[in-house]
A and B are shown apart, each in its own frame.
Chain A
Amino acid sequence: AQSVTQPDIHITVSEGASLELRCNYSYGATPYLFWYVQSPGQGLQLLLKYFSGDTLVQGIKGFEAEFKRSQSSFNLRKPSVHWSDAAEYFCAVGLGAAGNKLTFGGGTRVLVKP
């Protein structure tokens, strides 16, 4: 069965500093990869997705993610964090035609210090 691991439960970062959130997946083939963000009390919003092609993907709100097949990773980055980036971030893996379903990681909560 596929699995998604987000090793960091909490990350605290200063405003203006860079941010990197880790995501590792376990699956035999290259799955569809997603990053979602959840602000407090809200549903999830898609930040970016990777299906194929260029392994560096640009998303909304200044986020980017890099797919590394050799490491089975899809880490999310932002060069300069804003206070509004405080939220919970979820990595998700999709199997496509094998089930039209997503498997989510446990999430990483990001706190932004002024």
Chain B
Amino acid sequence: NAGVTQTPKFRVLKTGQSMTLLCAQDMNHEYMYWYRQDPGMGLRLIHYSVGEGTTAKGEVPDGYNVSRLKKQNFLLGLESAAPSQTSVYFCASSYSIMNEQFFGPGTRLTVL
């Protein structure tokens, strides 16, 4: 099993450009999450999904959109990137809140 995979691993954008980050899991988990990690702030939840076709806002959702068209995939979109979105993005999945969240390796995004 590959676990949780994320593509791409690195990306540099110019302000105003758009992009989509892809997260895939092969563990048949219902729950999937997108976090951003910034120095000294731990991980902050952007959006999450409790099942195929569902999405919900987390702590810092502004400027991001998500979709969960297939159970195994969770996409994070930036429609118009801003320098404040420079961060490391992690995707995670879990069977439920009482089970561990499995994390992907992260995507390092720089917005110039």
Interface size on B, residues (CB 8 A): 25
Interface size on A, residues (CB 8 A): 27
Cβ 8 A contact of A100, one of B4, B97, B104, B106: B97
- What is the minimal beta-carbon distance from B38 to any residue of chain A, in angstroms? 10
Contact in complex: B103, A104 (CB < 8 Å)? no
CA distance A42 to B42 in the complex (A): 14
Q: Name which residue of chain B comes closest to A101, CB basis.
A: B45
Contact in complex: A100, B50 (CB < 8 Å)? yes
Query: Interface stretch among A14-22, A45-53, A63-71, A77-85?
Result: A45-53
Interface of B is mostly: loop
Q: Name which residue of chain A comes closest to B48, CB basis.
A: A101
CA distance A101 to B33 in the complex (A): 9
Q: Does B77 interact with chain A (Cβ within 8 Å)?
A: no
Q: Sort A-B residue pairs by CB-CB distance and give the 7 closest, nearest first.
A: A43-B103, A104-B42, A46-B100, A100-B97, A104-B43, A44-B103, A106-B42
